[in-house]
Amino acid sequence: MKRTRSILAAVLSGLLLITAWAAFAPPAAAASLQEVTNFGDNPGGLRMHVYVPDTRPASPAILVAMHGCGRSGTGFYSGSEFAALADQYGFIVVYPTATKQTAMGNCFDVWSAASKTRGGGSDPASVVSMVEYVEDQYNGDPNRVFVTGSSSGGMETNALLALYPDVFAAGSVYMGVPFTCFANEADFPPQTSKCVNGSMDRTPQSWGDSVRQAYPGYSGPRPRVQLWHGSQDTLVPYQLLQEEVEQWTNVFGLSQNPTTTDRPQPSWERKRFADTGGTVRVEAITAVGAGHALPQTGMARLAIEFFGLHQNDPGGTTPPATTPLRPRRRPRAPAPRRCASSAAGARAGRATSTSPPAPARSTGGP
């Protein structure tokens, strides 16, 4: 009996020690969404959140992911697959939040003169400041910076690719419009817009000139472009996908006829436009039957594959660098602070494994 009591006492003592250790031990490291409030010049007044995966290369790639009107960066984090893919492939994701108020809610500025000007005092310049911050604070690779966005965020993606071809290596646009499609702020609301009333039709040369004039004299490499649109989109008409194709194929000096066509999935019709060396510079994907509700499940992964980020080894070395784009910036701001409320809520809405979260809902507007 004494021996039994001694054993029970020892077991109880051990359990108490384990419980005490668990109570005071620091929590296991886990990546979470963080808000950065002092990332640098911010003429657009945007908010910035960043997701940095626990496992990543010494010089990770950077992806900017932008929401649609009426949404937020934290919502795009929890409602899209990009953070789960970042865990898998080791790239950093920046989630800007637009603050410009329109009839469609808060939207990224793609209508003002400043938003169409390199270094202008609006949202594109703020996004570039976010990229520079991540390069400085996390040793982000300036040769592997990418951008994507849905609806309003997709429109801003086209603007960033046009204005800053020396910053972004490629972009993926969901439900966007060509760069300079909106004449001004009054042209932005769909009810009164000439851009999205279903009749916008300019020549490829005219669309291409808009991009070339965004950075006069630029002769470096242009970012590759992936374009997505739902065939039943009535808010941002499907016809605008063709206008985007005309713009970017003209910029690259490519034929309007695709070099290949295929179906990555049964309801996705893809047209690819390659240069004489066989490199796909532009691809356009129609989501047959889809309305204004992209990206859907699996679309983010196809974007990551288009960027080449699926070839990364998060725990090892980065793949060979592409053509150098620009030198690193010097550090300008302290490390980001955690935004506890948004991080906890967003993290709760997404699995910590590499399995994708639930597909995003409709963006609710441009």
Decide: helix, strand or coil at residue 253: coil
Residues annotated as catalytic are 151
Separation of alpha carbons 7 and 1, rounded Å: 10
Separation of alpha carbons 190 and 237, rounded Å: 10
Backbone angles phi, psi at 261, to 5 degrees: -135, 145
Which DSSP symbol is given to 337? B
User: For residue 112, what are the contacts with CB-CB under 8 A and spacing of at least 6?
Assistant: 120, 122, 184, 185
The DSSP-derived string for 107-171 is E---SSTGGGSTT-SSHHHHHHHHHHHHHHHH---TTSEEEEEETHHHHHHHHHHHH-TTT-SEE
Separation of alpha carbons 2 and 155, rounded Å: 77
Q: Are strands 92-97 and 62-66 parallel, antiparallel or unpaired?
A: parallel
Tell me how far CA of residue 20 lies from CA of 17, 25, 126, in angstroms. 5, 8, 47
| Phi-psi map region of 253: left, alpha, beta (phi>0 left; psi -120 to 50 alpha) | left
Q: How many CB atoms lie within 10 A of CB 319?
A: 15
- Dihedral, CA of residue 27, residue 29, residue 30 and residue 36, to nearest 10: 100
Helical packing angle, 152-163 and 123-138, nearest 10°: 80
Query: For the chain, first and last CA: distance in Å?
Result: 76
